[in-house]
Amino acid sequence: MTNNVTSLALGVGSLTLAFSAITQASPENEELAKKLSNPVASLISVPFQFNYDHNIGNRDDGHRYLTNIQPVVPISINQDWNLISRTILPVISQDDIFPGAGNQFGIGDVVQSFFFSPVQPTKSGWILGAGPVLLLPTGSDELLTADKWGAGPTAVALRQDGQWTYGGLFNHIWSFAGEDNRPDVNTTFMQPFLSYTTKTAMSYTINSETTYNWETEDWAVPVNFMVTQVAKIGDQTVSVGGGLRYHVASSNGGPEGWGVRLMFTLLFPK
């Protein structure tokens, strides 16, 4: 791993341990930590997800800093159903992603998901949600956007057994409008996840964020290993942590090897 990756990993590890040391075990924090592992939980949250990846491009000399701002807002439709809005707004700084590309900084394309989710799990204990996903061409630079409008289905299924949470999230996006000179979007996203939450509201999570591009017929498979801790800063409840990511497979010119993910989430329990 590069010095950047090592330094960031040590930093997030120290920060998470510091929060863990000052956090008192409580049923409330433990329940909040479990809800954070559930993409369709009835919990307003604003995660800030920072990612660092390198070895990008045919010469492996590019790197990217990606901050995803991901507000989650549950809306009660009636006593039986919730609508969960999940937004991903990327803020990107990248350099030399291919020879001569230079540096770009700005926002990328927004991915907006809506999950219709039953308030109660199924009789077998599964928590379900499904709905539409939209791709919005909001990128501020031609190298930060697909320049396409897209839409498709999204769904999530998970179970929470004691301290364990496991399941998966899926979406597929097809482009239906946009710049004719840009490649069509036809991608499948799959995110299996497994999480263990302790009584002190610390969660250990492994997931993958697998994308298959049907146009280019290639895979991107980053696997994330994360540790997060729910705590309070003054009166504000937060979750802080992070971990390492490894690119098992990369699309053509995509990042390779190890990377780092940091997480900071504002929580607004009802």
Indicate the burial class of 26 (C-beta count within 10 angstroms; 0-12, 13-18, 19 or more). Answer: middle
Q: Which CATH number goes with the domain that contains 220? A: 2.40.160.40
pLDDT digits (tens, 9 = 90+) for 65-82: 999 999 999 999 999 999
pLDDT digits (tens, 9 = 90+) for 80-108: 999 999 999 999 999 999 888 999 999 99
Distances (CA, A) of 142 to 104, 145, 148, 182: 9, 6, 11, 10
pLDDT digits (tens, 9 = 90+) for 191-236: 999 999 999 999 999 999 999 999 999 999 999 999 999 999 999 9
**Mean pLDDT across the chain:** 92
| The token pair that represents 77 in the structure block | 């439709």
Q: State the greatest distance between any 2 C-alpha atoms of the chain, in Å, as a whole number.
A: 57
pLDDT at residue 8 tops 90: no
Please give the Cα distance from 190 to 59 (Å, whole number).
28
Q: State residue 1's pLDDT score.
A: 46
Please give the Cα distance from 260 to 49 (Å, whole number).
10
pLDDT at residue 51 tops 70: yes
Number of domains in the chain: 1
Closest CA to 60 of 199, 257, 269: 257
Angle at 242 between CA 266 and CA 138, to 5 degrees: 65
Q: Is the pTM of this model over 0.75?
A: yes
Domain, as residue range, for 214 = 3-268
Better-scored residue on pLDDT, 189 or 25: 189
Query: DSSP letter at 123?
Result: T
